[in-house]
Amino acid sequence: HMDILRRNSCATRTLSLFARNKGNAYLCRVLRPFLSELISTGEHFEIEKLNPSDPSASLQVELFVKYMTLLVDTITSSVDIFPTELVVVCETIFSAVEDKFPLYVYVAVGSFVFLRFFCPALVSPESESIIEISEAPYKRPFITLAKVIQSLANGSDNVARWPVLESQSQFLEEC
């Protein structure tokens, strides 16, 4: 079950290309305002390499929570416009995994939706023609959000990877 949609096989690459093709307009519509807002505020955060005792930790966590909340709200409020073709793919993945690994159906669907669809767009929005990023400091928060949201979709222990987020375990659970 741990390998479902994780390897870089011909099938997973094809699925990624299909998702990009059928979902690009959706990603632009949904993620562009979010990414533009993060860039326009000039705010960026770092939680991965941050020690919880660092004097800037609370501000960094506060910014992370702000943008993670905005991202989750952005995605969940767009469910009604999620591309029909990708809904069919999600239903197919769900049905196929349910037969063999019934406890992992949501992880498998989440792997497709996040690992193969949302996260690449967050990590490299310019390659998806969503938004151009001219300054490197803005890429780091996008990558961090992608890592955290993928971890949430996988159902893994989020706090262990980011000690500074230990106080936010309830928040991450809600996400």
pLDDT tens readout for residues 29-60: 999 999 999 888 988 898 988 888 889 999 99
Would you say residue 2 has pLDDT above 60?
no
Span 66-118, pLDDT tens digits: 999 999 999 999 999 999 999 999 999 999 999 889 988 988 898 889 988 99
Q: What is the pTM of this model?
A: 0.87
Smallest Cα–Cα separation from 138: which of 122, 149, 153? 122
Could you tell me if 47 and 164 are in contact, meaning their C-beta atoms sit under 8 angstroms apart?
yes
Angle CA 125–76–67, to nearest 5: 55
Would you say residue 171 has pLDDT above 60?
yes
- Burial string for 70-91 (b: 16+ CB within 10 Å, else e) reads ebbeebeeeeeebbeebeebbe
Residue 68, both tokens? 């993670």
Query: CA 93 to CA 80: how far, in whole Å?
Result: 19
Q: How confident is the model at residue 16 (pLDDT cuts 50, 70, 90)?
A: confident
Would you say residue 127 has pLDDT above 90?
no
What is the structure's pLDDT at 5?
Answer: 62
Query: CA 126 to CA 117: how far, in whole Å?
Result: 14
Which amino acid, residue 134?
Answer: S
